[in-house]
Homo-oligomer: A and B are copies of this chain.
Amino acid sequence: MQDKNYKENFLLQFGHNLGKIRQSKNLSFRSLSQKCDLDYADLNKIEKGKRNITLSTIIELAKGLEIHPRELFDFYFPLQDLKE
Q: Footprint of B on A, CB under 8 Å?
A: 3, 6-7, 10-11, 14, 37, 52-56, 59, 62-63, 66-70, 72-74, 77, 79, 82-83
Contacts and interface: CB of A to CB of B under 8 A. Distances in A.
A55 B14 contact: yes
**Copy total for this chain:** 2
Consensus secondary structure, chain A interface = helix
B70 A74 contact: yes
Contacts of A79: 66-68
Contacts of A59: 6-7, 10, 82
6 contacts: A6-B59, A7-B55, A52-B55, A54-B54, A62-B82, A70-B73
B10 A55 contact: yes
Contacts of A67: 79
Given A10-B59, A67-B79, 9 more contacts: A6-B59, A7-B55, A7-B59, A10-B69, A11-B55, A52-B56, A63-B83, A66-B82, A68-B73
